[in-house]
């Protein structure tokens, strides 16, 4: 038995363990999963002196309320998150992008994400989790990963295998930028849509629907008319693909997506904008902007350099 | 052979083998899939073979479209790769407890229940691909007179083990999931097992499947 553990007082809405995800499994029907906002995931780990690919707790909207027992440990929260730290007689407001040392009996209460969706809680150490296909990431639809593939539940206890000896407190001044334009690359079925439909896709604003989760993001707005066929022979999907079913509404594939689909693909979100796309909460407005492959590759390179730069400064 | 390679977004190659769905084109897809999987090209992180397409995803931090395209164009899939790996018998119970869409199928296909089962059972089907949900096999081809469209409104929950039909294909729901296929029966056999990491899928692309009818009693006693 471990002497260092977390008790879940309140699990939050959709709280899971995530890491970098699992690859080479699309052909059997298993998606990548992994932390939705990869940049914030890595920053969280760096702030608590973990390896960048360590497991963290990902939450959406309302996060967990946790009680810690054991020897002192560091933790950090990333994203745009409102949370508090409860010590014996005081409760202080927590700040994202800063690590804190907590002791036996302290509580972390993650109240909510602010105008965003996902936040990350990293603990300076190693959570005792089951790995499947080299990843502890929970896929709740296929019940794969740690915690029997299910989201965290009230009353649960999570053990820590190890606590980092390096307890240096770290801090960074990262600010989550919001973007209105999501850059996209033309999809393989772009020609299936009417001229009017293509115009709508690039010129109109769409609203993120409440029916969005780790599998996909549904958008509401003007309908996009298909003039060829509303079905294609089922074929592979990747994250970021924007599908248009017969009803003309857009669905964007996210990290836990079905691996095969039969709806025409109008576009694919450029990798550079994925982290920010997933943070758009229901009601947010999205406008798509077309870019070509070369620009998408260059922009991603810059984004990646910026990420590495941010991490190296922590 | 691959007719055209284009990009699907900035982190995947879209290899098009044509528009027809048949065993010969699909076998080509599977050959490419197996060859590339074997070779482990640095940066390729996923392969999705389907009826007549192969999607190759890669890590944009490690490689790019041009490199992967160049690599794929210079591949010669070996003919010696064995496509027909296994022949499997799948027990299926078509008792009214399970055959949720039999009435609908009788109406659409204008065939009796007996005739539908006779047409469906004891025939060899080829597994074109697996996916959508983990382990789900897409099997074909059904007889011409057995082809029905999917439900107008998909079910929110299709029971685990459901054997279902759409167009020229049959599939098996490896676990409970939303779905719009016409449900004909249910198999007590586990189709996907995540505890077997090296082979979680019972049925894999290239396999041959034959459905054998079992009674409700046999179904109930199957896993005892």
Q: Which residues of B touch A293 (CB under 8 A)?
A: 7, 10, 65
pLDDT of B151 reads 84
Sheet architecture: strand order including B12-16: B4-7, B12-16, B53-58, B44-49
Q: Which CATH class is domain B87-221?
A: mainly beta
For residue A112, the cross-strand partners are A82
pLDDT of B83 reads 59
pLDDT digits (tens, 9 = 90+) for A141-163: 889 999 999 999 999 999 999 99
Tell me what ipTM this predicted complex has: 0.95
Whether residues B55 and A241 touch (CB distance < 8 A) is answered with no
Residue with tokens 């080509």, as numbered in its chain: B28
The fold of B4-73 is: Gyrase A; domain 2 (3.30.1360)
Nearest CA in chain A to B168: A233
* Facing A297 at nearest CB: one of B60, B129, B192: B60
Domains of chain A: 5-163 (no CATH), 181-312 (2.40.100.10)
Q: Which residues of B touch A149 (CB under 8 A)?
A: 194
Work out the minimum CA distance from B68 to partner chain A, whole angstroms. 14
Whether residues A23 and B46 touch (CB distance < 8 A) is answered with yes
For residues A5 and A70, the answer to whether their CB atoms sit within 8 Å is yes
Furthest CA-CA distance within chain B = 58
Q: Which residues of A touch B55 (CB under 8 A)?
A: 26, 235-238
Residues of chain A with pLDDT under 50: none
Touching B: A residues 111-140, CB under 8 Å: 132-133
For residue A85, the cross-strand partners are A92, A108
Residues in chain A: 314
pLDDT digits (tens, 9 = 90+) for B48-62: 999 999 999 999 999
Whether residues B10 and A293 touch (CB distance < 8 A) is answered with yes
A52 inside 8 A of chain B by CB: no
A241 inside 8 A of chain B by CB: yes
pLDDT digits (tens, 9 = 90+) for B178-223: 888 999 999 999 999 999 999 999 999 989 999 999 999 999 999 8
Q: Token pair for residue B102?
A: 């039999």
Work out the minimum CA distance from B53 to partner chain A, whole angstroms. 6
A182 inside 8 A of chain B by CB: no
Touching B: A residues 6-25, CB under 8 Å: 23-25
Mean of the per-residue pLDDT values of chain B: 93
CA triplet A213, A219, A225: central angle to 5 degrees?
Answer: 140
Using pLDDT thresholds of 50, 70 and 90, give the confidence band for residue B155.
confident
Residue with tokens 């019972």, as numbered in its chain: B202
Whether residues A271 and B12 touch (CB distance < 8 A) is answered with no
Residue B85, pLDDT above cutoff 80: no
For residue B12, the cross-strand partners are B57
pTM of the model as a whole: 0.94
Work out the minimum CA distance from B214 to partner chain A, whole angstroms. 27
Residues carrying CATH 3.30.1360.40, chain B: 4-73
Nearest CA in chain B to A186: B9
* Facing B45 at nearest CB: one of A24, A296, A297: A24
């Amino acid at each position: 038995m471990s002497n260092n553990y977390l008790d879940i007082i309140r699990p939050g809405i959709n709280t899971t363990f995530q890491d970098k995800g699992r690859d080479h499994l699309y052909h059997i029907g298993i998606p990548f999963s992994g932390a939705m906002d990869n940049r914030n995931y890595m920053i969280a780990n760096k702030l608590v002196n973990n390896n960048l690919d360590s497991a963290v707790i990902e939450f959406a909207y309302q996060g967990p309320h946790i009680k810690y027992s054991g020897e002192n440990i560091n933790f950090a929260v990333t994203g745009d998150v409102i949370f508090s730290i409860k010590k014996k007689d005081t409760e202080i407001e927590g700040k994202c992008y800063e690590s804190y040392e907590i002791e036996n009996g302290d509580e972390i209460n993650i109240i909510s994400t602010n105008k965003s969706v996902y936040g990350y809680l990293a603990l300076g150490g190693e959570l005792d989790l089951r790995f499947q296909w080299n990843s502890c990431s929970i896929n709740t639809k296929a019940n794969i990963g740690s915690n029997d593939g299910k989201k965290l539940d009230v009353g649960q206890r999570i053990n820590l295998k190890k606590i980092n000896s390096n307890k240096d407190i770290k801090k960074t001044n990262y600010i989550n930028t919001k973007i209105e334009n999501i850059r996209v690359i033309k999809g393989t079925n772009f020609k299936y849509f009417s001229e009017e439909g293509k115009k709508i896709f690039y010129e109109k604003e769409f609203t993120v629907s409440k029916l969005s989760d780790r599998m996909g993001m549904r958008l509401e707005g003007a309908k996009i008319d298909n003039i060829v066929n509303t079905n294609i022979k089922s074929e592979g999907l990747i994250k970021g693909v924007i599908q248009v079913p017969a009803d003309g509404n857009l669905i964007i594939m996210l990290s836990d997506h079905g691996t095969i689909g039969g709806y025409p693909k109008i576009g694919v979100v450029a990798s550079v904008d994925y982290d920010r796309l997933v943070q758009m909460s229901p009601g947010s407005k999205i406008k798509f902007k077309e870019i070509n492959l070369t620009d998408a590759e260059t922009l991603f390179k810059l984004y990646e350099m910026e990420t590495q730069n941010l991490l190296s400064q922590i | 052979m691959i007719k055209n390679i284009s990009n699907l977004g900035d982190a995947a190659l879209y290899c098009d083998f044509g528009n027809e769905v048949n065993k010969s084109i699909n076998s080509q897809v599977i050959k490419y899939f197996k060859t590339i999987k074997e070779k482990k090209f640095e940066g390729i992180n996923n392969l999705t073979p389907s009826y007549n397409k192969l999607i190759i995803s890669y890590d944009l931090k490690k490689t790019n479209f041009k490199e992967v395209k160049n690599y794929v164009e210079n591949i010669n899939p070996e003919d010696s790769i064995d496509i027909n790996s296994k022949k499997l018998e799948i027990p299926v119970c078509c008792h009214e407890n399970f055959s949720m869409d039999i009435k609908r199928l009788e109406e659409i296909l204008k065939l009796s229940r007996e005739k539908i089962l006779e047409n469906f059972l004891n025939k060899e089907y080829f597994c074109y691909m697996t996916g959508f949900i983990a382990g789900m096999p897409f099997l074909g081809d059904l007889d011409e007179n057995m082809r029905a469209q999917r439900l107008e409104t998909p079910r929110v929950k299709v029971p685990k083990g459901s054997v279902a039909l759409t167009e020229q294909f049959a599939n098996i729901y490896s676990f409970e999931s939303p779905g719009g296929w016409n449900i004909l029966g249910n198999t007590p056999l586990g189709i996907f097992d995540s505890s077997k990491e090296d082979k979680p899928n019972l049925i894999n692309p290239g396999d041959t499947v034959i459905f054998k009818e079992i009674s409700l009693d046999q179904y109930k006693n199957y896993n005892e």
